Amino acid sequence: MATVMVLGSGGREMAQALALARSPKVTKVLVAPGNGGTAAGHPKISNVAIKETALDDIAKFAKENGVSLVACGPEAPLVIGVADKMAEAGITCFGPTWSAAQLENSKAWMKEFF
């Protein structure tokens, strides 16, 4: 059984949380920071008052609360390196590394890359 953390506060993150909560392998879905829908009383889903770009706080919270997977919805945490930070903390993260996220983040960087 796993505790999963979803980063973000939009509809995409709510859909991710609901899909993850349907899995019999997931006991708890924590959404940081979440929204009204993710706080609506689903028995497996709860919000966590951590901004999705507060990488040190996310890593610390995830380690302290037995999070085995972090799923990132919005682009902002990815482009500042959330996947790399989670790897340093020994936590699996569903999302590209900082360098891979730059492909989406910066059109100028992408033009130079090509």
In sequence order, the 6+-apart residues with CB closer than 8 A to the CB of 38 are 6, 13, 14, 17, 31, 45, 46, 47
d(CA 72, CA 8): 7
pLDDT averaged over every residue in the chain: 93
The continuous run of DSSP H or E covering 103 comes out as: helix 98-105
pLDDT tens digits, one per residue of 82-99: 999 999 999 999 999 998
Q: pTM of the full predicted structure? A: 0.90
Answer yes or no: are the C-beta atoms of 17 and 7 closer than 8 Å: no
pLDDT tens by residue, 27-69: 999 999 999 988 888 999 999 999 999 999 999 999 999 999 9
Going by the DSSP 8-state scheme, the letter that residue 7 receives in this structure is E
Res 107: pLDDT? 78
Domains and CATH numbers, the chain: 2-113 (3.40.50.20)
